[in-house]
Amino acid sequence: MIKVGIVGGTGYTGVELLRMLSGHPHAELVAVTSRKEAGLALADMYPNLRGRVKLRFTDTLMADLSACDVVFYATPHGVAMKDAPKLMQAGVRLIDLAADFRFQDIGVFEQWYKITHSCPELVKEAAYGLVELNREAIRKARIVGNPGCYPTTMQLGFYPLLKAGLVDTAQLIADCKSGVSGAGRKAEVGYLFTETADNLKAYSVSGHRHAPETLARLQMMTTEKVGLLFTPHLVPMIRGMHSTLYARLTKKVSDEQLQALFEQSYQNEPFIDVMPFGSHPETRSTRASNILRLALHRPPDTNTVVILVVQDNLVKGAAGQAIQCMNLMFGLPETAGLSHLPVMP
């Protein structure tokens, strides 16, 4: 059994890790930390864990994480990098759900996150955790930087088109919407029920932290210069993400050829569902699962392809994807602990 630790187990991605790892056939939870909730039974904070998880939160400063095989960091940016050198010396693998190890360019990370990176030497060996596009690097990695939720949808949506050289890479557009859980478990006025219900708003239009992450990864898919216009929105639902992507075709290609391109690109991917051309994937069809669904559209008399992408922002967009990485790192079936169906209605 893989001995697993979680640092920052009180947030929404933390409890998703707990929910899925508690039923994982090859994982054993041995430590879950919290600075504020030390001593509290996990099931007292999250009743859905009753009868499945008997651990109590351990003080972050007192936890012996060296006894773990892998540690997940479901923490704010800047936490994982402080512990990474010590964990590497102890032979413990690390999967960070924040941004500490997503960027190979340290300067870009420090510019957007306003903190100095404390272990740039380890960034060089970290693998970017988007399994479908970086599988072999993840398999061999000691450190994985889990992708952001929005970047996951944008990269998987644009990838087949960029790889095939079919679109104008300088004019990619992403109109993305996320449920409120994407903001994390915190008490702020902007995320109160009375503020978010019956309301929809764009945010960070002039620049979102996920834009440079996405641009850097998209640029690896093509030799052409990539330009991305990305606008995120907050929608009045708890969980779920819907990204509508637009790209201008530069070559003559039929709808059937576009569909075949995406089906062939993802034909062996257990967590990507390429729906029939013209379908309308819904966020609820992925709720609480590690599935990402996408569908293609071609507005009449245009040279534009529209890609609709949906996922659960807490699972495929965060915790589920991290477990997918863990499975690869330890030579397990990639689907282990992740085969549960979406929850409907």
Is 84:119 a contact under the CB 8 Å cutoff?
Answer: yes
Give all strands of the β-sheet with 172-178 in edge-to-edge order: 201-202, 228-234, 172-178, 241-248, 304-311, 292-297, 272-274
Identify whether the C-beta of residue 342 lies closer than 8 Å to the C-beta of residue 291: yes
Report the C-alpha gap between 84 and 14 in whole angstroms: 19
The distance of Cα 100 from the centroid of its chain, to the nearest Å, equals 14
Using left for φ > 0, alpha for ψ between -120 and 50, and beta otherwise, residue 77 falls in beta
How many helices, marked H, and strands, marked E, lie in the chain? 11, 13
Mark out the alpha helices in 148-283 (DSSP H runs): 149-164, 193-196, 210-219, 255-265
**Distance between CA atoms of residues 246 and 143, nearest Å:** 33
Catalytic positions, please? 149
